[in-house]
Amino acid sequence: MTLNPGDLAPEFTLSDTEGNSVSLSDFRGQPVVLYFYPRDNTPGCTKEACGFRDLYAQYLAENIAVLGVSTDDAKSHTKFVSKYQLPFPLLCDEGGKIASLYGSYGLKKFMGREFMGVYRHTFIIDGEGKIVKIYRKVKPADHGAEVLKLFTEQ
């Protein structure tokens, strides 16, 4: 199943670094940037996370929630958050079940190897839970600014 703008975003509940349950429905009434990324502490994922971090005050000023999701466990997320002072929740999707719901998990190839993993995709979800925009080709270094423009240049 492929999701498209206009579709209702699949509901989910995942644990954050503290073991708290975080559900998409917790953010009804405000826009959500839901970004899937392959792995904590890797170069592209670090650039992407730090891009959102550096603009986070502006996201908050626009009442936009930012949620990062990968298949890493809470221990890995905690180290990543601490090392880079990430101010938004990172959610644990061990096994990639939620990434799969969003079409963001599947076969990847890297250096001649094939493996299952998370695709770098971002979903912009409005306050009613509808998908407004999907980024399937993400440039990690500029992504936080690119997404913010969607909200500030209206």
Counting beta carbons within 10 angstroms of the beta carbon of residue 96, is it exposed (0 to 12), middle (13 to 18) or buried (19 or more)?
Answer: buried
Q: Is residue 16 part of a domain?
A: no
Q: Is residue 94 part of a domain?
A: yes
Q: Is residue 103 part of a domain?
A: yes
- Per-residue pLDDT tens digits for 20-41: 999 999 999 999 999 999 999 9
Which residues are annotated as catalytic?
Answer: 45
Q: Is residue 100 part of a domain?
A: yes
Instruction: Tally the domains of the chain.
Output: 1
Q: Is residue 11 part of a domain?
A: no
Q: How many whole angstroms separate alpha carbon 53 and alpha carbon 79? A: 15
Q: Across-strand partners of 110?
A: 113
CATH number of domain containing 118: 3.40.30.10
Give the domain range for residue 147: 30-152
Q: Is residue 10 part of a domain?
A: no
What percent of the chain shows pLDDT beyond 90? 90
Q: How many whole angstroms separate alpha carbon 2 and alpha carbon 122? A: 14
Q: Is residue 19 part of a domain?
A: no
- Per-residue pLDDT tens digits for 112-128: 889 889 999 999 999 99
The sign of the dihedral angle between the CA atoms of 40, 13, 131, 8 is: positive
Cβ neighbors of 66 (< 8 A, separation 6 or more) are 32, 33, 35, 52, 56, 59, 88
> Reduced to 3 DSSP states, what percent helix, strand and coil does the chain have, rounded to the nearest 5?
35, 30, 40
Q: Is residue 13 part of a domain?
A: no
